[in-house]
Amino acid sequence: MKPMLHKKYKGYFDVGAALEAKNLGKYEEILKQHFNSITPENELKFLIVHPQIAEYNFTDCDKLVEFAYENNQHIRGHTLIWHNQVPDWLFESTGALSLSRNEMLRRMENHIQTIVDRYKDSIYCWDVVNEAIDDGNDFLRNNKWKEIIGDDYIEKAFYYAYEANPKALFFLNEYNCESGAKGDKTYDLIKQMRIKGVPIDGIGIQGHYQVDYPSADSFRVMLEKYSRLGLKIHITELDVSMFSYQDRRVDLPEPSKEMIEKQIEKYSSLFKVFREYKDSIDSVTLWGVADDCTWLDSSPVKERKDWPLLFDQDLNPKEVLYSIINW
Catalytic positions: 131, 237
- Extended beta strands in the chain, E state: 14-19, 37-40, 74-81, 125-130, 169-174, 202-205, 208-210, 232-241, 281-286
Is the CB of 237 or the CB of 291 nearer to ligand GLA? 237
DSSP per-residue codes, 201-247: -EEEE--EEETTBS-HHHHHHHHHHHHHTT-EEEEEEEEEESS-TT-
Tell me the residue type at 284. Answer: V
State the nearest-atom distance from the C-beta of 43 to ligand GLA, in Å.
Answer: 11
- What number of chain residues touch ligand GLA (CB under 6 A)? 5
The 3-state DSSP class for residue 50 equals: coil
Is the CB of 40 or the CB of 255 nearer to ligand GLA? 40
Give the span between the Cα atoms of 194 and 188, in whole angstroms: 10
Are the CB atoms for 261 and 240 separated by under 8 Å? Answer: no
Give the span between the Cα atoms of 209 and 176, in whole angstroms: 9
Give the span between the Cα atoms of 127 and 236, in whole angstroms: 9
Question: Which 159-188 residues touch ligand GLA, going by CB under 6 A?
Answer: 175
Give the span between the Cα atoms of 59 and 298, in whole angstroms: 27
Per-residue mark of binding to ligand GLA, 209-248 (x: CB under 6 A): ----------------------------x-----------
State the nearest-atom distance from the C-beta of 296 to ligand GLA, in Å.
Answer: 8
Contacts of 258 (CB under 8 A, 6+ apart): none
CA-closest candidate to residue 40, choices 133, 115, 114, 134: 115
Q: Indicate whether 295 belongs to the interface with ligand GLA (CB under 6 A).
A: yes
Is the CB of 41 or the CB of 201 nearer to ligand GLA? 41
Are the CB atoms for 195 and 235 separated by under 8 Å? Answer: no
Is the CB of 44 or the CB of 190 nearer to ligand GLA? 44
Closest residue (Cβ) to ligand GLA?
295
Is the CB of 60 or the CB of 237 nearer to ligand GLA? 237
Based on the number of CB atoms within 10 Å of its own CB, is 95 exposed (0-12), middle (13-18) or buried (19 or more)? exposed
State the nearest-atom distance from the C-beta of 175 to ligand GLA, in Å.
Answer: 6
State the nearest-atom distance from the C-beta of 28 to ligand GLA, in Å.
Answer: 22
State the nearest-atom distance from the C-beta of 209 to ligand GLA, in Å.
Answer: 12
CA-closest candidate to residue 39, choices 23, 56, 25: 23
Is the CB of 4 or the CB of 78 nearer to ligand GLA? 78
State the nearest-atom distance from the C-beta of 45 to ligand GLA, in Å.
Answer: 7
Query: Which residues of this protein are in contact with ligand GLA, per CB under 6 A?
Result: 130, 175, 206, 237, 295
